[in-house]
Amino acid sequence: MTSPTAANTSLTSRTAQLRARAHSFCQAFLEGRSPSETLSTHFVRGSPKITEHGPAIEQLPFLGRTFVGRSSGGSPESVGNSCDDYFTLLSETLRFHPHEHTFPSQPGGYIVDAGSDNGNGTVNVVGTARFESIKTGKSWEETFIYRLSGFDDDGLIGHWEIWADPLSAWLAVEGKAA
């Protein structure tokens, strides 16, 4: 039987591991890392997932669905549904303009529950950035939330969920005033 002290030490270690991964993942956006590098470095092998929550609408094709796995350049049924495709659809629609305060600068700014998600842990982080419509050039500043979960034993991310402001994105893409 594991002693309470050993279990607590293990949980503390896991918390530090997940916090460091989340911090490193968010820093990849500030450093301008490519989507492929970000996925390869920070996500589980096999079937990582990305979900940007919001209504499924044509103007914002990355919203309201879960992207699974990596592009293999293979089967027609997987085209448009991989995590790589999420980044492609997003980059064809919006530009992300992070700034020095987009994410917490210290790992302590990340909320970690190492025992949740069936013991795999979750990390939540709040960010702010300016986004811009590729089509219209209209931009807006928004606050968004990332929830990282499904971590493997090495601390790689299994599922990245995003909650943002789909109304502002839709208004910008449509060229309407916010």
Q: What is the CATH number of the domain that holds 122?
A: 3.10.450.50
Residue 35 in contact with residue 108, Cβ under 8 Å? no
Domain limits for position 49: 6-174
pLDDT, residue 10, reads 77
Selection from 169, 176, 157, 170 nearest residue 48 by Cα: 157
User: Is 100 inside any structural domain?
Assistant: yes
Q: Write down the pTM of the prediction.
A: 0.89
Judged against a pLDDT cut of 70, whether residue 43 lies above it is answered with yes
Q: What's the whole-number mean pLDDT along residues 26-47?
A: 94
Domain count, the chain: 1
Give the least confident one: 9-13, 26-30, 67-71.
Answer: 9-13
User: Is 1 inside any structural domain?
Assistant: no
Give the least confident one: 57-66, 82-91, 101-110.
Answer: 101-110
